[in-house]
Amino acid sequence: MIPADPAGREAGTAAPLSAAGLPFLDRLRGCIEQRRADGQGLALLLIDCGVIGTIDTQWGYHIGDAVRARIVASLRAGVLRPDDFAGELGRDELACVLAQVDGPQLALLAAEKSLRTLNVPLFLGEDEIYASPSIGIALFPGTADGAESLLHQAKSASAFARGQSGRIAFHEEGQISRAPQLVEESRLRSAIAEDALDLAFQPQFDLRFGQIMGMEAMLCWRDGSRDLVPMREAVAAAEAGGLVTRMISSLLNRALRNCSEFRQRAGLDLRIAINFPARTLLEPELPELVERALRTWSLRPGRLMLEIEDFSALQAQAGARSALLRLHGIGVKLSIDDARAPLSSLFWLAALPFNELKLDLSVAQDWSVEARSEGVLRALIGLVHQLKLDVVALSVADEAAAARLLELGCDFMQADFKGPAVDAEDFVARYAL
């Protein structure tokens, strides 16, 4: 763990010490010289925790210091090896040096492990807080000629990673500046606060009968552009602005209102799916908000499908499990939308009340022409059916692919070629009976 400053430095200033007590840059310089001499490599991970500044503001610097020390201790215990070291560069920035690596894969594995380590609740009294980390990776040898330039590369990559879904990025020359992303985040936060987001609806089709059976409600800008807004980014912006509950309530009510209107105006008794990042399961009011919206719009619970994105990240969280069971008790259907779920998650899945799993075929674009890839897909569909779940295929290319999926046993699909996401008026015009 990074030692406390016995001189009693001013609260809120960075502590540029490494684990060995030397200034971090000095130790990094020494490590680089060692690697120059032996011809080996090292990796620098710049971790932006994304939470300490908020804690400083709401609970005070002494609490921020304690949380940061806890995070560093967790990284040292769970990620870093004996020869690796860490340093604090700013309130939210930590630098971890993997003192010897033989390629980028080890650095990536360490970054992924760091994300998992940071994806645990920080309990501050009765409050449960989560970090919002991004990690930039810079490698030596590479284009950096010293400690300062290597650190600059890692910092640039970390800023870039904050706008990526995986929240990890290697430094690359010409990486896009963070400034446009900051502008977009500010715009998104303002849109949530001003209720300036709208919904678009993408139809879902039953492959067995060739007819529409539901739709997914997606966020989009209410500015004429109709650009879709990733739900994960919208929730992150809402979290930063303290607007998560308000946003979820607004989204649920607008989606269910449209579902009711489709039934009344167009004779379309369809289910409606809404995608939520897994972290929303930790919002204690989520089941109550869902139940209240269903009552408001007189919708049968079974017509609402909640799609949980990246659910594997929260599989160990008792709060997430409790929320899923409460939602199941209400009668709501539950779907998994997690293309990166590991095999271990399937065992956890078997014990939870999900009804559906979405398969994104973009991760295996050759499945329709490569026999072995198709074999994997067939086996996966069979496994999901063994768990008593339906399968929804995403990124289906054309009618030929849809027909083959039906032969493989897939149940439903959601694909742009069959029906793109459109607003409520266009949805009624296209699909009214």
- 290: domain CATH number is 3.20.20.450
Q: Do residue 109 and residue 216 come from a single domain?
A: no
Instruction: Supply the pTM of this predicted model.
Output: 0.55
pLDDT-derived band at 6 (thresholds 50, 70, 90) equals: very low
Q: Do residue 124 and residue 138 come from a single domain?
A: yes
Q: Do residue 32 and residue 75 come from a single domain?
A: yes
Q: Out of 160, 177, 194, pick the residue that ends a domain.
A: 177
More confident of the two residues 370 and 379: 379
Predicted pLDDT at 341: 57
Token digits for 197?
Answer: 């987001």
Give the DSSP letter string of 23-35: BHHHHHHHHHHHH
Predicted pLDDT at 226: 63
Q: Do residue 215 and residue 342 come from a single domain?
A: yes
Tell me the CA distances in angstroms from 383 to 52, 65, 292, 378, 418, one per residue in order. Answer: 42, 47, 35, 9, 26
Domain count, the chain: 2
CA 92 to mean position of chain CA atoms: 20
The chain-wide mean pLDDT, for the chain, equals 81
Predicted pLDDT at 408: 93
Residue 1 in domain: no
Q: What is the CATH number of the domain that holds 147?
A: 3.30.70.270
d(CA 95, CA 128): 25
Residue 188 in domain: yes
In the chain, % of residues over pLDDT 90: 30
CA 115 to mean position of chain CA atoms: 11
Q: Do residue 297 and residue 220 come from a single domain?
A: yes
Candidates 55, 237, 232; CA nearest to 128 is 55
Q: Out of 153, 177, 201, pick the residue that ends a domain.
A: 177
d(CA 348, CA 359): 18
| 3-class secondary-structure state, position 195 | coil
Residue 16 in domain: no
Mean pLDDT of 348-355: 77
In the chain, % of residues over pLDDT 70: 82
Query: Are the CB atoms for 273 and 232 separated by under 8 Å?
Result: no
Token digits for 207?
Answer: 């492959």
Q: Do residue 231 and residue 217 come from a single domain?
A: yes
Q: Do residue 264 and residue 199 come from a single domain?
A: yes
Residue 12 in domain: no
pLDDT-derived band at 5 (thresholds 50, 70, 90) equals: very low
Predicted pLDDT at 98: 92
**Length of the chain counted residue by residue:** 433
Predicted pLDDT at 129: 67
Residue 48 in domain: yes
Mean pLDDT of 375-402: 91
Range of the domain at 209: 182-431
Give the tens place of pLDDT for each residue, 55-105. 777 777 788 888 888 888 888 888 888 889 888 877 778 889 998 988 888
Helix (H) or strand (E) holding 330: helix 318-330
Q: Out of 177, 195, 214, pick the residue that ends a domain.
A: 177
Q: Do residue 222 and residue 340 come from a single domain?
A: yes
Above 60 in pLDDT, residue 367? Answer: yes
The amino acid present at 222, given as its one-letter code, is R
Q: Do residue 103 and residue 226 come from a single domain?
A: no
Mean pLDDT of 205-226: 86
Above 90 in pLDDT, residue 243? Answer: no
Query: Are the CB atoms for 96 and 47 separated by under 8 Å?
Result: yes
Region of poorest pLDDT, from 151-160, 261-270, 415-424: 151-160
Mean pLDDT of 292-312: 89
Predicted pLDDT at 49: 83
Q: Do residue 320 and residue 227 come from a single domain?
A: yes
Residue 8 in domain: no
Predicted pLDDT at 187: 72
Instruction: Establish whether the linkage from the previous residue to 141 is cis, with ω within 30° of 0.
Output: yes
Highest mean pLDDT among 9-13, 27-31, 72-76: 27-31
Q: Strand 122-124 to strand 85-88: parallel, antiparallel, or no bridges (unpaired)?
A: unpaired
Q: Do residue 196 and residue 139 come from a single domain?
A: no
pLDDT-derived band at 407 (thresholds 50, 70, 90) equals: very high
Residue 11 in domain: no
Residue 333 in domain: yes
Mean pLDDT of 181-200: 74
Q: Do residue 295 and residue 366 come from a single domain?
A: yes
